[in-house]
């Protein structure tokens, strides 16, 4: 298959490139050459895709069997590429996000949940509208485009630092604040499984929420996998979510991967992803994701923090205060 990846050097796009190469596909990737390197076997196209002339010139008269796009900025930039590629690609997959829904989304909701308003010709406004606008842009150009809406994406090369933060914190050892109920199910997907699903399903199109099923990985299994992978002398100290919230701990950003089981974001860990699984999504064991992510961090170090996203992680003094109160009970 001749595959065009728009992007492809950071995290999800990079996983798509690697998965495609492992399948023997002929891979072209378009980026500016700013944030990463492409494997030698990939044909690079250099362009700033926000510049219509540069994008048109880089794409030339190329034709591909499929294109995968991970764009998260202004919808009109996705629309520009989608419009230029109309009639020149057999299939398209756009990596969107469950952020496109109107939150709060009820636990158990599926792809029919209401989405935010968006305009495929708009400039960048906010993440949800940008991703929804990207979906509309691809659908306008290719009505059969595959739209994938992951919630929490983890795995090697994660550049938001969520799982890397947990690994680094647990590697430091000692008592580690662990959030909420140990048995609470997490909903996540390894970028490599998301990439495989995108390539498997691109020709079929459709719309899928993408994430693991209940029973795949509990909070405890994720954090214990971090203890095992790092070999750290760490003890998880479980603190009720009410106590965390009362202490001012910010879910999701300060304690990555954790959202309270009630409130605005509760549905983030409890979406109905059965359609994706029926269509062939396979989520690898969380232990494999964790150990491969740790191996990557050991091998290549931490990527530079992304300027376009808030930093993640719990300040040490806040963790000490919450742990002190929890252990005093």
Half-sphere exposure of 45 (CA within 13 A, CB side): 21
C-beta closer to ligand NAP: residue 239 or 268: 268
Residues in touch with ligand NAP (CB under 6 A): 7-14, 31-36, 48-50, 70, 72, 95, 97, 131, 150, 152-153, 160
Instruction: State the nearest-atom distance from the C-beta of 227 to ligand NAP, in Å.
Output: 22
Half-sphere exposure of 62 (CA within 13 A, CB side): 25
Instruction: State the nearest-atom distance from the C-beta of 170 to ligand NAP, in Å.
Output: 20
C-beta closer to ligand NAP: residue 155 or 179: 155
Instruction: State the nearest-atom distance from the C-beta of 95 to ligand NAP, in Å.
Output: 5
State the Cα angle at 103 between 101 and 108, rounded to 5°.
75
Instruction: State the nearest-atom distance from the C-beta of 326 to ligand NAP, in Å.
Output: 28
CA distance 157 to 31: 17
* Chain position whose Cβ is nearest to ligand NAP: 13
Q: Considering just the CA atoms, what is the radius of gyration of the chain in Å?
A: 20
C-beta closer to ligand NAP: residue 93 or 229: 93
C-beta closer to ligand NAP: residue 6 or 171: 6
How many residues make up the chain in this entry? 329
Long-range Cβ contact pairs of 29-32 (< 8 A, separation 24 or more): 29/4, 29/5, 30/4, 30/5, 30/6, 30/55, 30/58, 30/59, 31/6, 31/7
C-beta closer to ligand NAP: residue 157 or 294: 157
C-beta closer to ligand NAP: residue 130 or 224: 130
Burial class (CB in 10 A: 0-12, 13-18, 19+), 144: middle
Instruction: State the nearest-atom distance from the C-beta of 13 to ligand NAP, in Å.
Output: 2
CA distance 153 to 200: 18
Instruction: State the nearest-atom distance from the C-beta of 311 to ligand NAP, in Å.
Output: 14
């Amino acid at each position: 298959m001749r595959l065009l990846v728009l992007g492809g050097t950071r995290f999800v796009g990079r996983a798509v490139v690697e998965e495609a190469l492992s399948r023997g596909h002929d891979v072209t990737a378009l980026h500016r050459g700013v944030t990463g390197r492409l494997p030698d076997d990939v044909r690079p196209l250099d362009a700033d895709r926000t510049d219509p002339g540069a994008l048109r010139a880089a794409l030339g008269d190329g034709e591909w069997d499929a294109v995968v796009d991970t764009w998260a900025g202004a919808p009109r930039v996705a629309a520009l590429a989608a419009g230029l590629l109309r009639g020149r690609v057999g299939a398209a997959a756009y990596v969107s996000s469950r952020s496109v829904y109107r939150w709060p989304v009820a636990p158990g909701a599926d792809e029919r949940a209401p989405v935010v308003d968006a305009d495929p010709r708009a400039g960048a406004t906010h993440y949800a509208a940008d991703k929804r606008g990207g979906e509309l842009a691809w659908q306008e150009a290719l009505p059969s485009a595959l739209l994938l809406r992951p919630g929490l994406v983890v795995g090697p090369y994660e550049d938001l630092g969520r799982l890397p933060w947990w690994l680094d914190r647990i590697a430091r050892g000692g008592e580690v604040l662990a959030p909420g109920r140990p048995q609470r199910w997490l909903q996540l997907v390894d970028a490599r499984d998301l990439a495989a699903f995108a390539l498997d399903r691109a020709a079929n199109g459709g719309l899928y929420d993408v994430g693991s099923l209940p029973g795949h990985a509990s909070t405890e299994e994720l954090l214990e996998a971090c203890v095992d992978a790092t070999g750290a002398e760490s003890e998880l100290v479980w603190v009720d979510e009410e106590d965390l919230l009362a202490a001012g701990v910010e879910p999701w950003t300060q304690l990555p991967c954790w959202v309270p089981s009630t409130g605005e974001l509760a549905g983030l860990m409890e979406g109905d992803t059965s359609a994706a699984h029926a269509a062939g999504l396979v989520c690898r064991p969380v232990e494999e994701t964790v150990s491969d992510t740790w191996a990557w961090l050991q091998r290549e170090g931490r990527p530079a923090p992304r300027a376009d996203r808030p930093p993640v992680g719990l300040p040490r003094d806040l963790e000490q205060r919450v742990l002190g109160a929890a252990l005093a009970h």
